[in-house]
Amino acid sequence: MVTLDRGMGLLQATATNIIGMIGIGPFLTIPLMVGAMGGPHLIYAWGFGAVLAFCDGLVYAELGAALPGSGGPYVYLREAYAPFGFGRLMAFVFIFQVMLVAPLTIAGGAVGFADYLGFYWTSMLPWQHHLVAASVCVAVTALLYRDIASVGRLAVVMLVVALATIAWVIAAGLFSFSWQRAFDFPPGARRLDGPLLRAMGAAGLLAMYNYGGYNNVCYIGEEIRRPEQTLPRAIVLSIAVIVALYVVMSTAILGMIPWQEAQETRTIASLFIGRTFADPAQGRAAALLMTALILFISVSSLYAVVLGYSRVPFAAARDGEFFAPFARVHPTKHFPYVSLLTIGAATIPFCFFTIGQLVSWLLQVQILSQFVWQCGAVILLRRYRPDVAKPFRMWLYPLPAIVSLAMWLYIFVASPVAGMIFSAAFFGAAVIAYLAFDRATNASARPR
């Protein structure tokens, strides 16, 4: 069996997770979250998302420590549902949705990069915008065409830049911060009623889009040293760091920019930094520098996301559950180069869509095809797979898994009906595709 190198320790694994979580997401979606909440009370949405992220993170932590293979959820779902005869089906459904979710997620980050580049390139034409986004995907794929130890070292450098950028935003806000402006909550924000709960569901969806990535390290479990210890620690540490950064950063921004204005901009961080200077010329220069840093963060996030997703087809192909060429490993650098290049190439066509088109329904597809089944998987693995060692056991078991399941379902039903219909249809298509794949596999296995 082909193997990969265990070249990442706790620092590199945590760095990979954090840069995958930060990305360009919060710099694009804070205005959208303000609009969804109808005010500056984003702390409700961040808190809602933090509870879900920690609970779901504990699900990943236990599953990742118990089954630290490449592909992450592909392995978890296959092994947890195997006693009931649904292991191969659940694993196939996950792979099927990855082939949609991976290119769309990566392209979304690349399109976001091109959107923010418009702060510099104000005359950018649509075809140039598409070309920039596609070029970013090619560049990120080229950066990942190396051994895992080098990938981990570069991830640490990217993490330092990302944290420095957010630290600049927070520090700048301290000098011009207005508590009254930041906490200018509308009357409805103090009543726990239907409208507030619906707003939290909509904004919580965006919060989870920003928190997404805490599971990225699970995809590369086979390339991590002492995964039974490193995986749970990297997940919990990255979530804690990101929650603190997002809450403080958004509060600092809304303490300077009135929420009514904030919800209308699409380059809020650049606008914010420019406002911290009395001299307009200095403010413009600072805004340009902030934009450059955000563009770097965007590339860093895509770096982590492409790294994780590229391991899923590889793991499935190695197990005979996907096309055999995806199992090929680079002869000297020991990484799945066919899978990496394919994921990178598949992303390029989606760079010709808007970020709204790309992000729409993605999370709902994942909820129905993956997330809810994983919450059940951690319980099933405990009860029906005593043969699988459990080096890490989630705290307060099974409460985090139950809370995570309930919150995912709430986000799903609180989202647009069209998304629910699309997700259900996609799940049905995945099951039909599996039945066809299974029949073809069995037919080819029969003696002639």
pLDDT tens string 270-287: 888 888 887 888 888 888
38-54 pLDDT tens trace? 888 889 999 999 999 99
Instruction: Give, in order, the Cα–Cα distances in Å from 297 to each of 4, 89, 112.
Output: 27, 37, 11
Query: Cα torsion for 22, 25, 26, 31, to the nearest 10°?
Result: 180
Domain residue limits at 59:
10-442
Instruction: Round to whole Å and give the CA distance between 335 and 301.
Output: 19
The DSSP secondary-structure symbol of 215 reads T
Q: How far apart are CA 53 and CA 58, in angstroms?
A: 8
pLDDT for res 190: 80
The string of pLDDT tens digits covering residues 331-373 is 888 888 998 999 889 899 888 877 655 665 678 889 999 999 9
Radius of gyration of the chain (CA): 22
Contact 189, 196 (CB under 8 A): yes
Q: pLDDT at residue 390 above 50?
A: yes
Model pLDDT for residues 55-83, shown as the tens digit of each residue: 999 999 999 999 987 778 889 999 999 99
- Asked if residues 109 and 23 have their Cβ atoms less than 8 Å apart, the reply is yes
Q: Is residue 170 part of a domain?
A: yes
Specify the number of domains making up the chain: 1
Whether the predicted pLDDT of 207 surpasses 70: yes
| Residues 6+ positions from 81 with CB-CB distance below 8 Å | 87, 89, 90, 373, 377, 380
Q: Is residue 46 part of a domain?
A: yes
Could you tell me if 364 and 201 are in contact, meaning their C-beta atoms sit under 8 angstroms apart?
Answer: no
Please spell the DSSP secondary structure of 36-51, one letter per residue.
Answer: HHTSS-HHHHHHHHHH
Residue 343 lies in a domain: yes
- Tell me the C-alpha distance between 188 and 443, whole Å: 61
Q: Is residue 296 part of a domain?
A: yes
| pTM of the predicted structure, to 2 decimals | 0.82
Say which CATH number the domain at 273 has. Answer: 1.20.1740.10
What distance in Å separates the CA atoms of residue 308 and residue 115, rounded to the nearest whole number?
Answer: 24
**Contact criterion met (CB below 8 Å) for 354 and 111:** yes
Asked if the structure places residue 1 within a domain, the reply is no
Are 286 and 278 within 8 A, CB to CB?
A: no
What is the full DSSP assignment across 298-328?
A: HHHHHHHHHHHHTHHHHHHHHTTSS-GGGG-
Per-residue pLDDT tens digits for 159-175: 888 888 888 888 888 77
Asked, for residue 244, whether it belongs to a domain, the answer is yes
Other Cβ atoms within 10 Å of 448 Cβ, number: 3
**Structural domain includes residue 5:** no
Query: Is-cis flag, bond preceding 325, omega within 30?
Result: no
* Average pLDDT of the residues of the chain: 86
- Residue 276 backbone dihedrals phi, psi, to 5 degrees: -80, -5
Q: Cα separation of 321 and 336, whole Å?
A: 16
Q: Distances in Å between the alpha carbon of 145 and those of 4, 78, 256, 333, 385?
A: 14, 29, 42, 9, 37
In a domain, 3, yes or no: no
